[in-house]
Amino acid sequence: MKLAPLFLLCLAALPAPAAVNFRTQLWPLLAKNCVDCHRAPHKDPSGKLVEPKGRLRLDGAALILKGGSEGDAVVAGDPDKSSLYQRILLPPDHEDVMPPKGKGKMFSFDDSELLKQWIIEGASFGDWKGLDDGPPAALKKPAPKAADPLSAGATAAPEAAKEAVRQLGALVTPVMADSPLLRVEWISGASQITDLQIDLLAPLAGSLAELDLSDTKITDAALASIAKLPRLTWLNLNNTAVSDAGVAHLKTLTNLSYLNLHSTNVSDAALTSLAPLRKLRQVYLWKTRVTPSQAATFAKSIPDLKVTID
């Protein structure tokens, strides 16, 4: 018992464990096993546009803290609410495990504990920014949360209607945690989706904000139905048969901010139809008949619009 005070004194003299260094300890793990599926939109060797899985990017500090379509990837101080950490703990055969089988090496116990400890310590990136997309959210001055005008008045989609779309191979999810707005994307069976199936989206019109129809068999006729989705902000038509005539229907989508027309049959005429959409911020036009000069003119016609043509 007499040694207890001395023992405690020795413990107190021990140096505290060093904080986890994101740049040297965690970034190499993410870069090797996760970033390939979670980086900026890019073209694969065949020229097809590849979007970051789950809208989650892990190639920059601000982007990691921004999260993806399923909400927060990292919540500083709370591993239980950090989906990035929770997903690496899932069994190898689970559909949501990160990284998926064949896409990267499973995190070891020590690696997962390292990620957990980093989150507990506050998820500090130190001097690492990665792809600089502005200061990390954790460093920004919190602003009052403004009411989302798109969410206001959004009507809940009938469960039967959502299930009917899921039966066609689509994923139907909230655009973010606790949002009434929905995202629909085909994760299987896209090549079987035609204009006829697009009619099944009509009951979701009161809440559908993001729609991925890439690689489907839709034609211009489907865009007449899509034009009746007033809350649509994000639309991917990559590698479909749509043309200028179909794009003309989209002029009613006044909330649209993202439009992907990569590998479609559109030309300069489509840009005239899109001119009234003043909220557009990103338009992809790879492998189309749009000319560089008209693309450049169009980009200048709407503030903060980025048009990518090659």
150 is a domain residue = no
- The two counts, helices (H) then strands (E), for the chain are 11, 9
* Count of CA atoms in the C-beta half-sphere (13 A) of 273: 20
Question: Do 102 and 215 sit in the same domain of this protein?
Answer: no
The model's pTM is 0.59
- Host domain of residue 90: 20-138
Question: Do 172 and 303 sit in the same domain of this protein?
Answer: yes
Question: Do 185 and 282 sit in the same domain of this protein?
Answer: yes
- CB neighbours of 243 closer than 8 A, spacing ≥ 6? 220, 264, 265, 266, 270
**52-61, 161-170, 183-192: range with highest mean pLDDT:** 161-170
Question: Do 173 and 291 sit in the same domain of this protein?
Answer: yes
The residue whose two tokens read 């204009």 is: 195
- What pLDDT was estimated at residue 43? 73
Return the biggest CA–CA distance within the chain. Answer: 90
Q: How confident is the model over 295-306, as pLDDT tens digits?
A: 999 999 999 999
Residue 283 has pLDDT above 50, yes or no: yes
Domain boundary among 77, 107, 138: 138
What are φ and ψ of residue 259, in 5° steps?
-140, 125
Question: Do 32 and 167 sit in the same domain of this protein?
Answer: no
Question: Do 86 and 201 sit in the same domain of this protein?
Answer: no
Answer yes or no: are the C-beta atoms of 281 and 303 closer than 8 Å: no
Q: How many CB atoms lie within 10 A of CB 93?
A: 7
Question: Do 188 and 125 sit in the same domain of this protein?
Answer: no
The residue whose two tokens read 């896209």 is: 190
Cα 125 off chain centre by: 21
- What pLDDT was estimated at residue 138? 44
Question: Do 254 and 177 sit in the same domain of this protein?
Answer: yes
Respond yes or no on whether the N-terminal peptide bond of residue 99 is cis (omega within 30° of 0): yes
Domain boundary among 85, 106, 138: 138
151 is a domain residue = no
Query: Which is more confidently placed, 209 or 145?
Result: 209
- What pLDDT was estimated at residue 130? 77
- What pLDDT was estimated at residue 96? 80
12 is a domain residue = no
Question: Do 191 and 128 sit in the same domain of this protein?
Answer: no
Q: How confident is the model over 85-131, as pLDDT tens digits?
A: 888 888 888 878 888 877 778 888 888 888 888 988 888 888 788 77
Question: Do 33 and 173 sit in the same domain of this protein?
Answer: no
224 is a domain residue = yes
Cα–Cα nearest to 99, from 118, 110, 112: 112
- What pLDDT was estimated at residue 161? 93
Gap between the Cα atoms of 160 and 184, Å rounded: 15
Q: Average pLDDT, stretch 280-309?
A: 94
148 is a domain residue = no
Residue 298, domain CATH: 3.80.10.10
Question: Do 302 and 163 sit in the same domain of this protein?
Answer: yes
What are φ and ψ of residue 170, in 5° steps?
-95, 155
Question: Do 224 and 282 sit in the same domain of this protein?
Answer: yes
Q: Which stretch of DSSP H or E encloses residue 62?
A: helix 61-66
Parallel, antiparallel, or unpaired for β 258-260 and 208-212? Answer: unpaired
What are φ and ψ of residue 171, in 5° steps?
-100, 125
Total domains in the chain come to: 2
Domain boundary among 88, 109, 138: 138
The residue whose two tokens read 């066609």 is: 168
Using alpha carbons only, how large is the chain's radius of gyration in Å? Answer: 23
- CB neighbours of 168 closer than 8 A, spacing ≥ 6? 186, 189, 192, 193, 197, 200
128 is a domain residue = yes
14 is a domain residue = no
1 is a domain residue = no
Cα–Cα nearest to 229, from 268, 264, 185, 198: 198
